[in-house]
Structure formats: structure tokens, C-alpha cells
Structure 1
């Protein structure tokens, strides 16, 4: 009985991770810290994973992201990517795995003043928010390319 319980727990916790996807975007590196969004040129967008504490505990923070059916890649909790998205409407697909695979599709509108987008897993789906501000603990975040 103990063997089966251990096997069940091993499968449960190992199933939460997502296989990374390759990017089809030209992601940008950052060379200065802290990142100053006021200095972004038009179209430069920061996308960060704002997963909360509960998702970090069970390692369900890995989000695979697609924008207009192009793979951006996988963003872990406290990670971000920088890329160019010019004004217009975009379809954002997010996927994370908990005990099940959670996929969601969101339509966002990028405007000329859009600079920051927060993505995060939720209990039963995912969310996308145009935040336009960097989170208060951003010094702990790292660029996916570093």
C-alpha cells in the first residue's frame, strides 16, 4: 500500500510541469537593472509571469504562451520576456498544467502606451492583464534569456 501511495504522489507532483516550447519571436535581452519602462521605445512590451505563492508551492507556474499562433515560449514564475508588439489586437493563448492541462485564449489590444502585460495561472484557468506597471518585487524577476 505504501508503494502505491508513493507512486501516486510521484506522478501527481511530476505531472505539474510543462514541457518548454521554443520561441518564434525575437526576444530582447536587458542589460540594465532596474528596468525602466518609461524608456521603452514604441512597441516594446514586457510580459511577466505573476504567479502567486500557491502556484509556486506545487510547481504549476510554468506558462506556455502563444501570440497570434506564434510561440513565445515558456515563462516560469518571476520571469519575464521583452518583445515587440505594435498597436493592434492580439490573440494570446496560455497553457499550464496542474493535475489537468489548463488552456485559455484571450484577446488583448495593444495601444501605443502599452508597456507591461501580466500573465499568470489561476486555479481553473489563466489570466492576462495589461498592467502597465512593473510589480513591486521586480528586482527578483529574471529575463528568460539570462
Structure 2
């Protein structure tokens, strides 16, 4: 069984709609080239996403987008994405988790957020000290469980 190919430029434009860039230091998800990362993690949802991307390009062409969805202006693009998302249940939902995990692990994003690009072990991360007095009301409550033998 042949798989439908994903429209790469359309996928890139959709990813940029979901996580847009905020200046040169924090690029959009599509600009980081996360399309392949997301595509590799779609598994059974791949065919549905491919159909939705094809529909997105077809509707964009009907609206005058010469090169499909990627060539549309911002507001038109957002509205069309919402329209296609409601016509293809699960389309955006299947993209969001792999997109967010790939985006917030990307070294450029980690650096732009002011974090060190390293695993938490062995150095760990510093945490702010909290006000443990906020737990006093919880500690003062009676037990909500029975003791066992």
C-alpha cells in the first residue's frame, strides 16, 4: 500500500501557524525544519494528515493562493486552517504533540529561552524555593484514610 506523500511546504506553513516565530532568536516551528521530525512520529495518523494537507492546498488555491496554503496571507491562512481542522477531526491534534516535543527540545529554542541545552542529570536544574507555609492548612486536616495492619 502506497502512502500519500505529505505536502512539505504546506506542512511547514501549518507548523509556523501553530508555533509562529517571535523575532530572529525564536524562529517558528516550520522555519526550524521540524516537518521531518513531526512526519516521522505520525504513525497511523499519517494518511489523515496527508488528506488534510491536500484539502488545505486545494481550498487555498480556490481562494487565489498560487502556490497553495503556504502562499496565503496571515489572516486568510489562520481562518482556512481552522476551517480544514473542523472538516478533518484529529488533524491538528495529531500534529500538536510531536510538534511541541520537537520544538521545545530543539537547541535553538532551548537557547533562546535562556536554558542550558543539556540533560537534567547529573547537574540538575536550580529550582526556586517555595513558601512551605502554604502547606500548613493541608497538614492541619484530619487523615482521609484508614491505617492498615
Query: After TM superposition, is the score higher than 0.5?
Result: no
Give the TM-score normalised by the residue count of structure 1. 0.27
Give the TM-score normalised by the residue count of structure 2. 0.27
Higher Cα radius of gyration: 2
Which structure shows the bigger proportion of residues in helix conformation?
2
Higher relative contact order (CA 8 A, sep 6+): 1
